[in-house]
Amino acid sequence: MDLTLASKMTDDEGALNTLLAGYAAGHLPAPLHGLIAAHLLMKPDNRGFVEALEVLHSEEIEATDGATLSNRDQMLNHIFKQPIAVPKERVSEVDQLVPEPIAAFVGSDLSRLKWRSRLPGLKEYALRDPSGCEASLLWIKPGRTMPSHTHDGTEITLVLKGAFSDGRHHYARGDIAIADGDVTHRPRAGEGEDCICFVVNDAPLRLTGPFGRFFQHFMGY
């Protein structure tokens, strides 16, 4: 699923529903699939919607004529030998709850990651995915405001700890924020505790404002 599909909807709820539908159909790239799976673990609100979509997809599969497989038994044996991963939340050594779908990418101990400082009070751990999308963890100190920016593509953000506001909405643990080229904002971490987010995007962010080019070079985007 192209991340830009999520931005076709003009409101956050519609964009999120598009992502949930892609998740139920199995069309999302791996990091984004993990992000949605983690959201469903942390907040049960959308589980019923996804389960209903999965039932519809299963009915469509059952109604489809199956193809003959020459190595069916070998394929089944291989599948049954695979370990069964049960999604759950892990508690890391830095006292952060990292949902299993995110821990599968970054591990459960955030203190062991090679964080890169981007700006005072902001550090990042970046991952690369063969699907072409980019994923990263952002760790923002309380009360810090990111430079004003927009996006050349679509950015999907899941809050793992703390909270932030972007001038449109307030996002807390388990919430998903969706932004694209139509959105220019300055996310600000909440007071009182660090804000940690898992972010998936299909293009770098683009800083705006009078000092945008300077910070763009400084941050390395």
Residues 169-190: b if buried by 16+ CB within 10 A, e if exposed: eebeebbbbbbbeebebebbbb
Q: What share of the chain in percent tops pLDDT 70? A: 69
Angle at 46 between CA 45 and CA 51, to 5 degrees: 130
> Greater confidence, 58 or 174?
174
192, pLDDT greater than 70: yes
Rg (CA), the chain: 19
User: Would you mind telling me the total number of residues written for the chain in this entry?
Assistant: 221
73, pLDDT greater than 90: no
Q: Can you tell me whether residue 145 is helix, strand or coil?
A: strand
151, pLDDT greater than 70: no
- Average pLDDT of span 184-213: 80
155, pLDDT greater than 70: yes
Contact present, 170 and 161 (Cβ < 8 Å) = no
What's the CA gap between 83 and 194, in Å, rounded?
Answer: 35
Q: Which has the minimum average pLDDT: 8-12, 118-122, 140-144?
A: 8-12
The H or E element that residue 39 is part of is helix 30-42
- Average pLDDT of span 52-59: 74
What's the CA gap between 22 and 28, in Å, rounded?
Answer: 6
84, pLDDT greater than 60: no
Q: Say what the pLDDT of residue 141 is.
A: 96
What's the CA gap between 151 and 18, in Å, rounded?
Answer: 19
Structural domains of the chain, with CATH:
1-221 (2.60.120.10)
Q: Say what the pLDDT of residue 179 is.
A: 82
59, pLDDT greater than 70: no
Q: Which has the minimum average pLDDT: 17-26, 62-71, 83-92, 197-206?
A: 83-92
Q: Say what the pLDDT of residue 125 is.
A: 94
